[in-house]
Amino acid sequence: INELSNVPVPVMLMPDDFKAYSKIKVDNHLFNKENLPSRFKFKEYCPLVFRNLRERFGIDDQDYQNSVTRSAPVNSDSQGRCGARFLTTYDRRFVIKAVSSEDVAEMHNILKKYHQFIVECHGNTLLPQFLGMYRLTVDGVETYMVVTRNVFSHRLTVHRKYDLKGSTVSREASDKEKVRSHP
């Protein structure tokens, strides 16, 4: 994101922007060495496309960068399929989800149409607001991440949450859950 602040905003995204990436390799990183690895690689996928999406969703790049990098992300109390955990930024504005390399490939497949839809609806949508896609490599282990806007506002109290499933396989409430008046 820092590198993008010096790049003029293009009038129009080109097909190559949907395949582009930027990489950073850090060797002998000594800052905060107690908590951070001394060597790692970071890859940002389609930086101009996601910058454009953030702009359309009304998210300032500097605010986004501060939210994502200022403090370590926090484990969310939500749990995804197969026990996958979600992380939230320290200010709870954004959700960071670890995804598979297949999910990254699928995101590349849908990104152009997703972007086109967001342009047409002027950012007013109930679809997830994808804000960035990254790969972090530490000690040869690759972790892929997608960042979205958190739909649970920290300014509002959530009275009830429902976990809606896309499949009915192995999705039945226990007897204990069936007798509860609230989920």
DSSP code of 160? Answer: -
Tell me the pTM: 0.76
Q: What is the pLDDT of residues 33-45, one digit of tens each?
A: 666 667 788 999 9
Give pLDDT, residue 177: 75
Q: Which domain holds residue 136?
A: 3-179
Give pLDDT, residue 155: 62
Give pLDDT, residue 107: 97
Give pLDDT, residue 53: 96
- CATH code where residue 38 lies: 3.30.800.10
What is each CA distance from 38 to 28, 34, 66, 100, 134, in whole angstroms? 5, 9, 22, 25, 19
Task: For residue 69, give the nearest of 141, 163, 134 by alpha carbon.
Answer: 134
> Helix, strand, or coil here: 68?
helix
Q: What total of structural domains would you count in the chain?
A: 1
Q: What is the mean pLDDT of residues 4-12?
A: 71
Q: Is the pLDDT of residue 67 over 70?
A: yes
The strand pair at 85-88 and 94-99 is best described as: antiparallel
Q: What is the mean pLDDT of residues 54-79?
A: 86
